[in-house]
Amino acid sequence: MHLGFGAEAVDYESAWQEQRRVHAARFVDEVPDTCLLLEHLPVYTAGRRTSEDERPLDGTPVVDVDRGGKITWHGPGQLVGYPIQKLPRPVDVVAHVRRLEEALIRVCAEFGVQGTRVEGRSGVWILGDPVEQRAALGGLNLDFDPRVTDELFDPRLNGPEYAPSNAGQRREDRKLAAIGIRVAKGVTMHGFALNVNPDNTSFDKIVPCGIRDAGVASLANELGREITIAEVLPVVEKHLRDVLEGAELLPRAV
């Protein structure tokens, strides 16, 4: 189901309300499994595990939501998908996340971008170079990079060269697609956000997904060319269908 793109991008509260409506209908089997696809108007949303020191320092408004994960940004140039799917109980949440990752990894591959998983971190990632192979920034030797020794390193306070949006230039690990979900009454909500061609500097006001030692990426930046939501949308739809419709849904082992 397409909710709106470009000039018809959807504000977050309206999409959240539509999610709840479809979720309720799916629970009573009034509708089949459904994936809402859209672009959002600019918004910061914070999952249940977001801490205060990960929010914008300048008081930018944040919408607190009932999904898992931490804080992120949504906005133009980002393709958002909310799969609302009934799963067998007891629900295997991890398996659902892995299926979404698999679909998005296949999307990246079709565009010539090698996306992957990072152990312990959900979403789709572009792996960076080993630390010892990365170029120095601004004349700094990487031996003095504060992230090497300081677990509380805050990229918001350390200048643009350390901003999450510049992780590609630093050849660091960077997240291309974020995933945060909720399962209520055996039916999934929320989902994924794939960075196609957004202004990634919007992530610099926060600690994206609570991760301080990596950054964010987009298909446009990784490919070094312009790419649009319209170009990516049918590819995402194809791989979501292949993975989600073809999956053998099993209850979580107990």
Helices and strands in the chain: count of H runs, count of E runs? 5, 11
Does 68 appear as a known binding residue?
A: yes
The tokens for 14 are: 């309206």
User: Is residue 27 part of an annotated ligand binding site?
Assistant: no
Q: 3-class DSSP state for residue 193?
A: strand
Which are the contacts of 188, defined by CB distance < 8 A and separation ≥ 6?
A: 83, 84, 85, 87, 96, 181, 182
Cβ density class 44-82: b for 16+ within 10 Å, e for less: bbbbeebeeebbbeeeeebeebebbbbbbbbbbbbbbbb
Catalytic residue among 196, 209, 211, 214, which?
209
The verdict on whether residue 112 carries a ligand-binding annotation is no
The response to whether 70 counts as a known ligand-binding position is: yes
Q: Is 72 annotated as a binding residue?
A: yes
Question: Does residue 178 have a known ligand-binding role?
Answer: yes
Residue 179, marked binder: yes
Q: Is 184 annotated to bind ligand?
A: no
Main-chain phi, psi angles of 51, to 5 degrees: -100, 160
**ω into 90 cis (within 30 of 0):** yes
- Looking up tokens 């319209």 gives 230
Q: Is 69 assigned a ligand-binding role in the annotation?
A: yes
Q: Is 35 a catalytic residue?
A: no
* Annotated binding-site ranges for substrate: 67-74, 178-180, 191-193
* Active site residue ranges: 209
* Annotated binding-site ranges: 67-74, 178-180, 191-193
